[in-house]
Amino acid sequence: IKWIHSETEGLALSKQENKPVLIDFYADWCPPCKQMDKVTFQDKGVIDELDRFVAIKADMSRPSSPGQAAGKKYGISAYPTFILLDSQGRKKTIVGYTPPKEFLKALRDIR
C-alpha cells in the first residue's frame, strides 16, 4: 500500500487522478490500529483494492502529530477511524478494527 502522510497532498492527488480516498486515522499506541496494520492491511484482497485509492495515513499519536489538523476537520475521536471519500466527495466512516473481508466490502462500495 502506497501511503501518503499528508491529507492535503492526498486530497490533491485524488482530485488530479480522479481516485477515491481512504484516510486512516491511527495512533502508534493503539492496539486495534496495530492489528489493522498486521492483519487487514496485509490481506492481498485489501491491498489490491486499495490500488485504486489514494491512501492517507494520519498520525494522531500525540497532540503535536501531523494528522491532528485533519482529525479536527473530520471530528475524529476514536482510533482507528477510517474515512472513505468517493469521487463525488461523499463520505463513509468506519470506526475500530475491521477484519479484511468486512473492510474489503466497504472499499468496494466506494467508487
Beta strands in the chain (DSSP E): 3-4, 21-26, 54-59, 81-85, 91-95
Give the single-character DSSP code of 40: G
User: What is the grid cell recorded at 93?
Assistant: 466512516
Average pLDDT, the chain: 96
Tens of pLDDT, residues 12-33 = 999 999 999 999 999 999 999 9
Tens of pLDDT, residues 44-56 = 999 999 999 999 9
- Alpha carbon dihedral 77, 1, 108, 32, in 10-degree steps, equals -40
Supply the pLDDT for residue 105: 97
The residue with cell 473492510 is: 103
Supply the pLDDT for residue 87: 82
In angstroms, rounded to a whole number, what is the distance separating the alpha carbons of residues 78 and 94? 10
Q: With pLDDT > 70 as the criterion, what percentage of the chain qualifies?
A: 100
